[in-house]
Every structure is written in structure tokens, then in C-alpha cells.
Structure 1
Amino acid sequence: MKKKVIILLFVILAVSVAFYFYVYKEHRSIANETSEYVISVKSFEKEFAENDSLANLKYLDKTVEIKGKITTIEPENKALIIDEKLFATFNGVFPNDITVGQVLTVKGRFVGYDDLLEQYKIDQITIIN
């Protein structure tokens, strides 16, 4: 009987430790990840127009580098709109040295397509150039 209690306590402890490490694992650092895809907004838009289901499977939750021209700056939301189609949000400090019309490459995590606003969304972006 005593042996069964010890085994049961050991199993409960092992499951608890595994659950703890699963729940409190480190968050992804998109800035430190290698980009899986390097693409322009226009090419991105073309792939989604051809087959949005395949494009979503390909890009969703992946680290991507996207090149385009800044069309809108929203410092209050820590966001940029690139080529009027890509809504990109910063995770940290919003840079003050960017301007509308500037061509740049950003790296971030693709979140999805917003049907209502007709925009592609990436978050946790960093500016590559």
C-alpha cells in the first residue's frame, strides 16, 4: 500500500512539473528568429488572390520579411501601414525616424488577413533596413 502511494505521488509530481513547463514556456522572440519567407507586399497579395487557403497555411504564424513603402504611420497604435495593404505593429518602442513614403523591409509574425479592412496583418515587427 505504501509503495502505491509513493508511486502515485511521483506520477502526480511528474505531471505537475510537465504542466508547469508547458504553461510557462518562454515566448517566441520574432526579432531573433530567422525569416522563413522574404517577400514584397505585392507578391504577398498575389499569392492570397490566387489561393487564400494555401497562402494562409504557408504564412500563418510564420516569421516573414516584407518589403514595401510606408503609406500611413500610427504612433498611437505603434503601427505602420505598408503599401496600403499591410498593417504592421511594433511590440516595443515605436521608432521616430520613419517617414511616409519611405521604402523599408520589416520582419514580423504573420497573423492573418482582415476581411473587413482588407489588410494583411503582422505583429512584433522590427525594421530590417
Structure 2
Amino acid sequence: MKKKVSIGILVLLLFLVATYLYVYKEHRDIATEKESYAVDVKTLFDAYQNNETDADAKYLNKTIVVSGEVSLLNPETHSVVLNQKLFAVFTDTLPSEVTIKSNVKIKGRLIGYDSLLEQLKMDQCIILN
């Protein structure tokens, strides 16, 4: 009887440790991750226009580098819009050299495509150039 109780407690303890490690795992550090893809905004947008399901399978929740022209800049929310098609939120304040009409290369995580607004969305972005 003591052996069954001991084994039960051990199994419960292992389950609790595994659950804790799964729930409290480290967050991704997009800035240090190697990118999966490097594309321009037009290529990425066209991929979503042609087949959203395939594009999601390829790009969604991946670290990517995207290049494009800044069409909207909001320093208060640390965000930019590239080529009027990609909304990117940055982890830190935007550098002063990022201005409207400047060409930039950003690295971040693609979090989705808004088909209603026809806009791609990225977060945890950093400027590479």
C-alpha cells in the first residue's frame, strides 16, 4: 500500500513540474532569433492576396525581415506602416532617422493578415538599417 501511494505522489509531482515548465517557459526574443524569411512588403502582401491559407502556413508567427517604404509614422505608439500594407509595432522608440518616405528594413514576428483592412500586422519589431 505504501508503495502505491509513493508511486502516486511521484507521478503527481512529475506532472506538476512538467506543467509548470510548460506554462512558464521563456518568451521568444525576436531580436536575437534568426529570421525565417526576408521579403519585401509587396511580395508578402501578394502571397496573402493569392492564398491566405498557404501564406499563413509559411509566414504566420515566424520571425521575418521585411523591407519597404514608411508611409505612416506614429512615435507615440512606436508603430509604422510600410507601403500602406504592413502595420508594424516596435519594442522600443523609433530611431530619429525613420521618417515618412524613408526605406527601412525591419525584423519582427508576423502576427496576421487583416482581410477587412487588407493589412499585414507585425509585432516585436526592430529596425535593421
User: TM-score band, normalised by the shorter chain?
Assistant: over 0.9
Counterpart for residue 67 of structure 1: 67
Equivalent AA in structure 2 for residue 27 of structure 1: H
SS in 1 for 2:124: strand
Deviation at 1:96, TM superposition (A): 3.9
CA shift for structure 1 position 75: 1.7
- Alpha-carbon distance in structure 2 between the residues aligned to 1:39 and 1:111: 16
Q: Which runs of 5+ in 2 are unaligned?
A: none
Alignment of 1:1-129 (within 5 A): 1-91=1-91, 93-97=92-96, 98-129=98-129
Please identify runs of 4+ aligned residues in structure 1 that moved more than 6 A: none
Percent of aligned pairs sharing the same letter: 43
TM-superposed CA distance for 1:27, in Å, is: 0.2
Q: CA deviation at 1:117?
A: 1.9
**1:70-115 deviation line (CA, Å, top 9, x unaligned):** 0111122211101100000012x21241211110100000111112
Alignment check: 8 A CA contact 2:48 2:113 kept: no
- Supply the RMSD in Å over aligned alpha carbons: 1.0
SS at match of 1:25: coil
**TM-score if structure 2 supplies the norm length?**
0.95
Tell me how far apart the structure 2 counterparts of residues 96 and 110 of structure 1 sit (CA, whole Å): 21
Higher share of residues assigned helix: 1
Q: Distance in 2 between matches of 1:56 and 1:11?
A: 39
TM-score, with normalisation over the residues of structure 1?
A: 0.95
Q: Structure 1 regions of 5+ residues with no counterpart?
A: none
Equivalent pairs counted in the alignment come to 128
Matches of 1:17 and 1:121, distance apart in 2: 36
Which residue identity does 1:31 align to in structure 2?
A
